Amino acid sequence: MNGMQGMGLIGQVEVAVGPPLVVGAGPAGERRIVPILGGRVGGPRLTGEILAGGADFQVIRPDGVTEIVARYTLQLDDGALVYVVNRGIRHAAPEDMARLLRGEPVPPERVYFRTAPVFETAAPAHAWLHRSLFVGFGERRPDSVRVRIHAV
């Protein structure tokens, strides 16, 4: 064992998002781009801010599942920059998905929202981010997204 076994929760991301840019229906489904306005990450292994300028690129497939690819940058409290690509899927009962897409609140237990974030940094102190796989447990709110990130 290398000490990373069962590391568990590393941080919780709270991201402020803007209104979606709806590109519309293409071959794969409805394309939406959700701007990331900023936010915070806090937890046992990651603390800092989420810089503005990222986005969440979504495709709502014909089967109602939303494929998500969020790209954004963290600036940790020690100044290190971390590039994040967070891929995932979100789905719920049709009426709950309709509420989410209208920007209305839906209880998180009614929505499956899981991601697999990948991190990239030049900072030696955070090179551990390159040596584990991570799972995010997401929650969509009307104007924000919360993701609890666990090392697995």
**Residues above pLDDT 90, as percent of the chain:** 83
Predicted confidence band of residue 1 (pLDDT cuts 50, 70, 90): very low
The CATH number assigned to the domain with range 8-151 reads 2.40.160.20
38 is written with which tokens? 């900023």
90 Cβ neighbours under 8 A, 6+ residues apart:
65, 66, 68, 100, 111, 112, 113, 138, 140
What are the structural domain ranges in the chain? 8-151
Nearest Cα to Cα of residue 87 among 108, 49, 112, 113 = 113
Residue bearing the bigger pLDDT, 72 or 1: 72
Answer whether residue 7 shows pLDDT above 80.
Answer: no
Q: Which residue has the higher pLDDT, 135 or 7?
A: 135
Burial of 133 (0-12, 13-18, 19+ CB in 10 A): exposed
C-alpha closest to that of 145 among 76, 86, 64, 79? 86
pTM for the whole thing? 0.90
